[in-house]
Chains A and B, each alone.
Chain A
Amino acid sequence: MRPTRELLESLPERFDHAVVAFVGAEGYPLSVASRFRVEADRGVILLDAPAGEAVAPPEGEEVNVVFSHIRPQPGVGYDERRYVSLWGSLRRSNGHLELEPDRTQHWDEQEMSFFEFSERGVPQARRYFEQVSAEQGREIGPRLSFGWLFLRATRLPFLTATIIPVGLGIAIAALRDDFSWWRALLTLIGGACIHLGLNVANDVFDTLSGADEANVNPTQFSGGSRVILYGLVDLPAMVALCVAFYAVGIGIGIALAAVSGWGLLWIGIAGALISLFYTAPPLKLVHRGLGEIAVFAGFGPIMTLGAYFVLAENYAWEPFFASLPVGILIALILYVNEVPDRPADAAAGKRTLPVRWSKDTVILAYDLAVAVTFALIAAFAISGVTARPTIIALAALPLAFPVHRALRDHYESPYELMPSMGKNIMLHGATGALLILGYAIAIVADAASSNPHAFLQ
C-alpha cells in the first residue's frame, strides 16, 4: 500500500526518531537510528545520514525505514503501541538521505484495537501451522485445555439466556403449588442442551457461510466462538457436538412429555426447530432479519411456557405474559451484538436488522423495545397478570442507559462498544432474576400466610 500524504504528515508528531534498516556487508541487515523530517508536498522523508562507512545505508537499493513508539507503564509493561514501516530507495540530497516511499505497513492501537489487529493475522496463523505440520511431519495446531475449549466452543456463559426463562416458568408453577425438583432440574438440563446445540450449530453454519472468516471485529459477546476458524476444533467434531446436544435435549423433552403430557411436544418441537433453523438452511432465520423474533420466541415464551407445562401439566396465560419482557430483552442482546458484526454479516448475506437499518433507527428501536419491556413489567405487576412483587424488576432499567449512550457514541467502534454489550446482557440477567425473585417473594408470602397482603400476591 502506498503511503498517503496524511500518514507522512503525521509522522513528526507521532514519532521521535526513525530507524533505517538495510542489507549491509556480508548480507546481514543493519538498522541505524536517525533524526528525520517530512516534506509532505514532495512525498519524501529526509533522514540524517549516520556517520561511518560501516553503517552507511546504500543508495539506489530498497531500504526499510521504520518509526516505532511505545509508552512505558512501570510495573505493568507499556501501551500506546504504534509503528509505521516505509519502503523505498534512498538517494543523497543536500547532505541528507532522501526516501520517497512507495510502500507502507502500519498499525496504531489507538486506531485499530489489538484484538482486530490479531484477528487479521488468523489466515497467516493457519498457514504457519500448515507449514510447521509439514516440516515436522505431524499435525500441529493451536490448543486449549478441555475445560476452556468446552467453555469457548459452546459459549457456556450465555446459558443465562436459558436459565432465566426456564427459572421463571418454574417459579410461576411453584407459586401454583406445582413443583417437582427432578422435573425442574431435567427441564433446565434439556433447555440448556438445546441452547448449547444452537450455539454450536450457529458456529457450524457461520463457518460454512463464511461469516466467521469475514468478521475481523469479533468481541467476547459477538462473532461466534471461532474455534473452527482458529483450528481449535474441526468442523466434523463441532457437528458431532451439535448433534449430541440436540439428541440429549430432544430426548429429555420426550421423556418429560411422557410424564407431563404430550401437549409439551408442540412447544418442544417449535423450540427445537427455531433453534436449528436460526442459522441452518433453508430458513436461515437470522439471515432474513428474523433472528430477533426467533430468539424472542425461543428464549422467551417457548422456554417459560415449556418449563411451566412440565410442572403444571397445562398451559396458562401467566407464564406467557411474564416471559414477554424476558424475550424482548434477550432479543435485544442479539440485536446489540449484531451492531459490530454488521460488515461481516452483510458480506456473508446475513441481513440482520442492524445491517438493514440506519444507526438512528437501530438506536430508536432499542429505546422503544426497552420502554415497552419495562412498561409491560409495570402493567402486568400492577394489574395482577403476574405476581405483584415482580414490580421490583423495574430496578434493572438503569442498566439500559449506558447501552443507549454507547450505541450513540461508539456505534462504529466494536471494542469501545464491548463494555456496553456486557451491560446489555446484565440488563437481561438482572431483569429476569428480579422477576424470578418477585415470584419467590410471592411464594414465601403465600406459604407464610393464608391471606397475604395484596402487594405480595
Chain B
Amino acid sequence: MGVLPERIEELLETALVSELTVIDRGGRPVTHPLIPMYDGELLYLTSSVLFSKKLEHIKENPRVSISISDPVAVNVERFARATIQGDATVDDSDLHSGWEERVLPLWRKKEPMIDFFLGKRVALPLFFERAIIEVRPRRAFLWEDGRTDREPEVFEVVEAVR
C-alpha cells in the first residue's frame, strides 16, 4: 500500500505510457509521452539527454502532472483514468549509470527489451545518458471506467511516513 489510492496504483503498476506535462519558460503546458514507474511513494520517469528540454523546464518549474489515459497501454481488469499532480526533481548527478541503479529494475518490468538495447549501448550512447525525474504526488484525480464526462474523485495525497 503506497501513498496513492489503490486503483491508481494498479494503473501505474502496468501502464506502458503516461503523459507527463511540464510548464515551459513561457508558462505554457508541454506534454511528453513517457513510461511511468512507481515505488509506493514516488513516481519515476527517465529522460535521455537527447530529449532533455523537459528536464530544463522542470528545473525552472517543478510542478508537473502525469496522466494515464490510454486503455490499450494498461493491463487492469477494470479500466480507469487517472492524473497525478506533483512536485518533480531532476536527478542528473550520474547521467551515465545512476538511472541503471535506481530505475532500470522498474523499467525492465514494463519493457523487458530494454536490456537488449542497453547491451547495444555502443550503438546509441547518448540515448543511455539519462536523468531521473522523481515526482512526489500531491493530488490525484480518478475517473472510474475512464469516463471524463463524469466528475473525477479527487484525492489529496498524504505524505508517506519515512
Contacts and interface: CB of A to CB of B under 8 A. Distances in A.
B28 to A, nearest CB: 5
B152 A118 contact: no
Nearest to B124: A118
A30 B30 CA distance: 11
B70 A29 contact: no
Contacts of A220: 123
B50 A76 contact: no
Contact of B112 (A69, A75, A144): A75
A68 B17 contact: yes
B124 A28 contact: no
B40 interface: no
B110 interface: yes
B63 interface: yes
Interface in B93-118: 93, 95-96, 110-114
Contacts of A122: 50, 126
Contact of A50 (B93, B122, B148): B148
B29 A29 contact: yes
Interface string A117-142: 01001101101110110001000101
Contact of B129 (A50, A78, A142): A142
Contacts of B50: 118, 121-122, 124-125
Contact of B63 (A29, A33, A81, A115): A29
A31 B56 CA distance: 20
B33 interface: yes
A83 B33 contact: yes
Contacts of A127: 52
Nearest to A87: B28
Contacts of B71: 16
A34 B148 contact: yes
Interface stretch (A51-59, A237-245, A382-390): A51-59
A122 B125 CA distance: 11
A62 interface: yes
B63 A28 contact: yes
A21 B70 contact: no
Contacts, number: 189
* Interface size, B (range): 35 or more
Interface string A83-115: 101010000000000000000000000000001
**Could you say which interface size class chain A belongs to?**
35 or more
A23 B27 contact: yes
B104 to A, nearest CB: 13
Contacts of B30: 21, 64, 85
A118 B126 contact: yes
Nearest to A115: B124
A273 interface: no
A158 to B, nearest CB: 15
B94 to A, nearest CB: 9
B19 A230 contact: no
Given A23-B27, A33-B81, A50-B149, A125 B73 contact: no
Contact of A54 (B31, B81, B121, B154): B154
Nearest to A143: B96
A142 B124 CA distance: 11
B142 to A, nearest CB: 11
Contact of B52 (A17, A124, A152, A230): A124
Given A71-B72, A124-B51, A125-B50, A23 B23 contact: yes
A60 to B, nearest CB: 13
Contacts of B162: none
Nearest to A231: B126
A23 B65 CA distance: 10
A27 B69 contact: no
A51 B27 contact: no
B92 interface: yes
Interface of B: 16-17, 19, 21-23, 27-31, 33, 48-53, 55-56, 61, 63-67, 69-73, 75, 81, 83, 85, 92-93, 95-96, 110-114, 121-127, 129, 138-139, 141, 143, 146, 148-152, 154
22 contacts: A16-B70, A16-B72, A19-B69, A29-B63, A33-B148, A51-B151, A52-B151, A52-B152, A55-B83, A69-B70, A73-B113, A77-B16, A121-B51, A122-B126, A124-B50, A125-B48, A125-B49, A136-B93, A142-B129, A148-B121, A152-B125, A230-B125
Interface of A: 16-17, 19, 21-24, 27-34, 48, 50-52, 54-55, 62-64, 66, 68-73, 75-78, 81, 83, 85, 87, 115, 118, 121-122, 124-125, 127-129, 131-132, 136, 140, 142-144, 148, 151-152, 220, 230, 232
- What are the 9 tightest A-B residue pairs by CB atom distance, in nearest-first order? A121-B50, A77-B111, A52-B151, A33-B69, A29-B21, A31-B67, A128-B52, A125-B49, A21-B21
Given A68-B17, A68-B70, A70-B33, 20 more contacts: A21-B21, A21-B31, A28-B138, A28-B139, A29-B85, A30-B65, A31-B21, A31-B29, A32-B148, A33-B143, A34-B148, A51-B151, A55-B152, A64-B31, A68-B69, A87-B28, A118-B127, A124-B51, A129-B129, A142-B96
